[in-house]
Amino acid sequence: MVMIAVLSCFVLAALAPRLHSLTGRQTGWLLALLPAAIFLYFASLIPLISSGETVRHAYQWLPSMAIQFSFLVDGLSLLFVLLISGIGFFILAYAGRYQEGHPALGRFFLFLLGFMGSMLGLVLSDNLISLFVFWELTTISSFMLIGFNHEDDDTRKKAHQGLMVTVFGGLALMTGFIMLGMAAGSFELSEILAGPSLTEHSLYLPMLGLILLGAFTKSAQTPFHFWLPNAMAAPTPVSAYLHSATMVKAGIYLLARLHPTLGGSASWLTILTLIGALTMLTGIILASRSTGIKRVLAYSTVMALGTLTMLLGLGTEKAALAAVTFLLAHALYKGALFMIAGILDHEAGVKDFRDVSGLRRLMPKTTLAAMLAALSLAGVIPLFGFIGKELLLEAVLSGSRWQLGLTIATVTANIFVVLVGALLALKPWFGKTITTPKAAHDPGPALLAGPLTLAALGLLFGLMPAIPADYLLRAAASAVYGEPVSGTLALWHGINLPLMLSVLSLSLGLLLYRFWTGWREHTIFIERLSQFGPEAGYNKLMQGLVSFSTWQTKTLQNGNLRHYLITTLATVVLLVGWAVLRLDKIALNIDFSGLQLQEVTVVGLLLITVLAAVTAKSFLVSVALIGALGFGVALIYVFFSAVDVGITQVLVETITVLLLVLVLYRLPEFRQLSSRANRARDATIALLSGGLITVLILLVTNASSMNSISSYFLEKSVSEGYGRNVVNVILVDFRALDTLGEIFVLALVAIGVYSMMHLRTGVLPVTNADKRHAVQKQREKSAKTGVKP
Amino acid sequence: MTTLMAILIGCLYAAAIYMMLRRSVVKLVIGLILLSNGANLLIFTAAGLQRGVPPLIDKGQQMIAGAAADPLAQALILTAIVISFGVLAFAVVLIHRACEVVQTDDMNEMKGTD
């Protein structure tokens, strides 16, 4: 059933374009039925999973390589599956209306559903290899979706950037996975997690580094955070789905998943908390400086991802619970806020905070959803985001290291989060009404259902935190922590330090909101700093890559046949020659005994012929010498028991000489074209290659030869091939199909030769009809002028 | 005899490569011919040289009683001779056409693509 859930997304994805042309306007709702069904099926597993059970399905894929399609449903994957399918339901309905009328909407659905399937596969996979395959599939579908408006040059560049960064991480991840599988002795996550912690393993550090590289690039951690805001070039439903609620959390999922096996070491704690805290601050400060609505949301997503990484780095029981709670809260409000950003664009035509104000009377329902979601983001009581923030502060305060530093960082980040929350909750809706490019109004249910439901869930979970805690979060936190987690969620913890810090950040954040414009003007230096940032580094790297490949293409692929030959031959001579010289014992088969006079004569004549052919000044002489050479070689065949070969050689050589003389006799005589230095260089390469061949033959013929299959042909020639000339039997019986192929090749050559002979320069082949026409014209002309043709 | 053949084949290869590195396209053809002769002899020598024992089975016999030259190598060379003739014929006609069109046999001047 789990497998069907994943595969059905891909099947529906393939059918989506066709379906779209049939059902038109309502396709979004229709397709949304699939995630709804998946959501309901997995929701039915909640009682089982929350009691601490797991569900596992395995299907053999490549049993010989220990790769199987295996799926694991536990608290963590269930939380993700419900988010993916639940938000996916609203996104599909939303996208159907948001992108309505787009000529490629069917294709859009294809990518979106394909992404959904990959993401489900990623969080459900129990096998590292299949997890990696789904991981890369999400990268590819993300690329397709970011670059959906591919006519735009800038969009293509941004899609490319996201792809490069995440694929680079994916490569590292694959290596890390292989190391992990080798270290743990299994590629099944359930077995790896049940096994001992690997923090003492000799491969631990490289393994951790590579896996973290994969997770950090995917989840946009500093210094790889730059691709995420650029991914906002995607249509808004994509941003809402991939780049806030689901895909960017894949890295977080991986860290959470592997925490029981890889977590707990000093390096894990150091790297994750520091990078996480750095990402958190970078993200939110950049968010506070941006004005584009989607860009602010994107940077605040970077902040949330950093927070999650930091919590997973701390790795305590409290931190695990805080992480899953924060993750759920973030998915709910960020999904809603992105969809609202899309509504503002779609219904009012605004993309920037500075262009919008006082829309609450025109869009009351949107305002309500936006305020609920934004207040949850800001962590205002009684919304679910408040609980998430309280848990975050508690986890940081009770962490094992750097409590003070991390607390200061978290509170600082929270001040800016409040600013961003206030921007989203107040700026577009209150104040003086600015006329928007489009007449603003509340959208229909397809666009509004998602934000309203997700925002309302944020309120519901905030008021009744026991619901998510008992049914989902505790099981998820247990999977992250590795042991059952007992904590519970409550809205009111009494007046304590986290609450006071919350109040502090709330008031400072609101103060900052008052002076938002001033803050932006005074922090303009950050803009200047960014030219030394990681994105600039990425651009430099890409430019370097392009100019390097231009250089190497010009050098190696210069289009000069002789240079290719020289390069290839020199490489062969050097490598093979080196290998020969490295042999323990160079035993050359030098043996001049038993030579017969006629053989020595022929070989001697051949040597002279070759030398003369090379130095010949005229083409005809050269051809004559080549003919002589061919006949000499035929004699050698005859001397050494190859009668048929000898006869064939004589025949072919005769035709070759005729052909050369007939076709090439009109060509210019030989000229001295190359310089003396070039000739010396070519002669050196030629002599070295020839010498190498000689040495190789002497080596090979001295070595004990392998068992030839020739004895089979000699034995079976009469009994099975009914022929006494074994060579002939091989050609026309044992290997008859090869001979047929050879005949086919010759036929092709004949056609090619014929057509080239008849193809006149710049003129199409002359047909008989053309000829008749020409003759007719000639006759008419001569009849007129009275001259005989 | 193998030693002598090895030297001959080495010379054939060297001559072929030298000719293929010339700028004249006609010399390239001659290089090709030399190369295919060298390659055929290489296979022939590698299979083992034997005098006077062609792989022919006498009337009334089921198989050859004593030693026999390797029939497989001979079959391979037979095929190779015919195929290299095909390649040569095609190359010669192609070169002829090319020289007619661009009015030169110097490969350095045959650079354009139109």
Between positions 364 and 423 of A, the ones with CB within 8 A of B are none
Are A419 and A442 within one domain? Answer: yes
Q: Do B75 and A629 touch (CB under 8 A)?
A: no
Give how far A573 is from chain B: nearest CA, Å: 12
Are A141 and A155 within one domain? Answer: yes
| Beta-ladder partners of B24 | B106
Phi and psi (nearest 5°) for A61?
Answer: -120, -70
> Nearest Cβ partner of B57 from A645, A708, A718?
A718
**B114 confidence band (pLDDT: 50, 70, 90):** very low
Residue corresponding to tokens 């022919």: B56
Tell the burial category of A207 from Cβ atoms under 10 Å away from its Cβ (0-12, 13-18, 19+): buried
Are A240 and A278 within one domain? Answer: no
Q: Do B54 and A738 touch (CB under 8 A)?
A: no
Each residue's pLDDT tens digit, A494-509: 788 888 888 899 999 9
Each residue's pLDDT tens digit, A149-161: 888 889 999 999 9
Each residue's pLDDT tens digit, A685-738: 999 999 999 999 888 877 656 667 888 888 888 888 888 888 999 999 998 999
In a domain, B27, yes or no: yes
In a domain, B61, yes or no: no
Q: Crossing angle of helices A249-262/A317-343, nearest 10°?
A: 170
| pLDDT (0 to 100) of residue A637 | 93
Are A352 and A223 within one domain? Answer: no
Which contiguous run of DSSP H or E holds residue A55?
strand A55-62
Q: Crossing angle of helices A75-98/A317-343, nearest 10°?
A: 10
**B113: pLDDT strictly greater than 60:** no
Query: Where does a domain end: A220, A246, A263?
Result: A263
| pLDDT (0 to 100) of residue A770 | 58
**A777 confidence band (pLDDT: 50, 70, 90):** low
Each residue's pLDDT tens digit, A755-772: 887 875 554 444 566 556
Q: Do A686 and B21 touch (CB under 8 A)?
A: yes
| pLDDT (0 to 100) of residue A781 | 60
Domain count, chain A: 3
d(CA A383, CA A375): 7
Give how far B18 is from chain A: nearest CA, Å: 5
| Mean pLDDT of all residues in B58-65 | 79
| Mean pLDDT of all residues in A466-474 | 88
Q: What is the mean pLDDT of chain A?
A: 88
d(CA A192, CA A181): 8
| pLDDT (0 to 100) of residue A660 | 87
In a domain, B90, yes or no: yes
Give how far A565 is from chain B: nearest CA, Å: 8
C-alpha distance across the termini of chain B, in Å? 51
Beta-carbon contacts of A87 under 8 Å, excluding residues fewer than 6 positions away, are: A240, A241, A245, A246, A331, A335, A450, A454
d(CA A217, CA A255): 12
d(CA A697, CA A295): 69
Which has more pLDDT, A570 or A590?
A570
> Mutation test of the interface with chain A: which of B56, B59, B102, B103, choosing the one with the most A Cβ atoms within 10 A?
B56
- 3-class DSSP state of A553: helix
**A100 confidence band (pLDDT: 50, 70, 90):** confident
Are A709 and A638 within one domain? Answer: yes
**A486: pLDDT strictly greater than 80:** yes
In a domain, B62, yes or no: no
Q: Does A43 touch chain B (CB under 8 A)?
A: no
Are A248 and A283 within one domain? Answer: no
Are A60 and A39 within one domain? Answer: yes
Displacement of CA A252 from its chain's centroid (Å): 19
* Residue range of the domain that includes B17: 2-50+71-109
In a domain, A420, yes or no: yes
Are A670 and A707 within one domain? Answer: yes
* Residue range of the domain that includes A411: 265-523
Beta strand segments in A361-418, E? none
Q: Do B1 and A694 touch (CB under 8 A)?
A: no
Residue A577 CB coordination number (10 Å) = 16
Q: The domain that contains A611 carries what CATH number?
A: 1.20.120
Residue A536 CB coordination number (10 Å) = 12
In a domain, B60, yes or no: no
Q: Do A652 and B59 touch (CB under 8 A)?
A: no
Each residue's pLDDT tens digit, A361-399: 889 999 999 999 999 999 988 899 999 999 999 999 887
Nearest CA among A216, A182, A188 for reference residue A202? A182
**A788: pLDDT strictly greater than 70:** no
Q: Do A562 and B107 touch (CB under 8 A)?
A: yes
Residues of B in contact with A606 (CB under 8 A): 8
Residue pair A181/A128 in contact (Cβ under 8 Å)? The answer is yes
Q: Do B75 and A559 touch (CB under 8 A)?
A: no
| pLDDT (0 to 100) of residue A212 | 95
The vertex-A788 CA angle with A785 and A789, nearest 5°, equals 105
Are A242 and A307 within one domain? Answer: no
Beta-carbon contacts of A787 under 8 Å, excluding residues fewer than 6 positions away, are: none
**B108 confidence band (pLDDT: 50, 70, 90):** confident
Q: For A742, which residue in chain B has the nearest alpha carbon?
A: B83
Phi and psi (nearest 5°) for A544?
Answer: -60, -40
Each residue's pLDDT tens digit, A421-465: 999 999 899 888 888 888 888 888 889 999 999 999 999 999 998
In a domain, A287, yes or no: yes
> Nearest Cβ partner of B4 from A595, A641, A644?
A595
In a domain, A548, yes or no: no
Residues of A in contact with B68 (CB under 8 A): 641, 714, 726
Which contiguous run of DSSP H or E holds residue A41?
helix A27-43
Number of H helices, E strands in chain A: 34, 2
**A34: pLDDT strictly greater than 60:** yes
Are A239 and A308 within one domain? Answer: no
In a domain, B63, yes or no: no
Residues of A in contact with B9 (CB under 8 A): 693-694, 697
Q: For A732, which residue in chain B has the nearest alpha carbon?
A: B75
Give how far B19 is from chain A: nearest CA, Å: 7
Domain count, chain B: 1
Q: The domain that contains B15 carries what CATH number?
A: 1.10.287
Give how far A625 is from chain B: nearest CA, Å: 10
Q: Do A690 and B13 touch (CB under 8 A)?
A: yes
In a domain, A561, yes or no: no
Nearest CA among A165, A146, A141 for reference residue A535? A165
**A785: pLDDT strictly greater than 70:** no
Cα distances (Å, whole numbers) of residue A289 to A376, A378, A516, A519, A524: 21, 17, 9, 8, 9
Are A274 and A217 within one domain? Answer: no
Between positions 738 and 767 of A, the ones with CB within 8 A of B are 738-739, 742, 745-746, 749, 752-753, 756-757, 759, 761
- 3-class DSSP state of A186: coil
Percent residues over pLDDT 70 in chain A: 95
| pLDDT (0 to 100) of residue A163 | 93
Residues of B in contact with A660 (CB under 8 A): 29, 92
Each residue's pLDDT tens digit, A102-119: 888 889 999 999 999 999
| pLDDT (0 to 100) of residue A668 | 66
d(CA A367, CA A493): 30
Each residue's pLDDT tens digit, A601-642: 999 999 999 999 988 888 888 889 999 999 999 999 999 989
**In this structure, what is the dihedral angle of CA atoms A143, A149, A155, A161, given to the nearest 10 degrees?**
10
Give how far B24 is from chain A: nearest CA, Å: 8
Give how far B96 is from chain A: nearest CA, Å: 6
- The secondary structure of A59-81, three-state, reads EEEEHHHCEEEEEEECHHHHHHH
DSSP A725: B
In a domain, B8, yes or no: yes
d(CA A634, CA B40): 11
Each residue's pLDDT tens digit, A281-333: 999 999 998 889 999 999 999 999 999 999 999 989 899 999 999 999 999 99
Residue pair A370/A429 in contact (Cβ under 8 Å)? The answer is yes
AA identity, residue A691: G
AA identity, residue A154: D
Give how far A642 is from chain B: nearest CA, Å: 6
Cα distances (Å, whole numbers) of residue B44 to A27, A602, B2, B11, B88: 70, 16, 10, 16, 21
> Nearest Cβ partner of A756 from B38, B52, B93?
B93
| pLDDT (0 to 100) of residue A22 | 86
| Mean pLDDT of all residues in B66-94 | 89
* A-B contacts at Cβ under 8 angstroms: 259
In a domain, A582, yes or no: no
Each residue's pLDDT tens digit, A292-304: 999 999 999 999 9
Query: Where does a domain end: A523, A543, A559?
Result: A523
In a domain, A776, yes or no: no
Query: Where does a domain end: A200, A235, A263?
Result: A263
In a domain, B18, yes or no: yes
Each residue's pLDDT tens digit, A207-239: 999 999 999 999 999 889 899 989 888 899 999
Residue pair A389/A323 in contact (Cβ under 8 Å)? The answer is no
Are A271 and A259 within one domain? Answer: no
**A776 confidence band (pLDDT: 50, 70, 90):** low
Q: Do A682 and B18 touch (CB under 8 A)?
A: yes
The vertex-A647 CA angle with A641 and A649, nearest 5°, equals 100
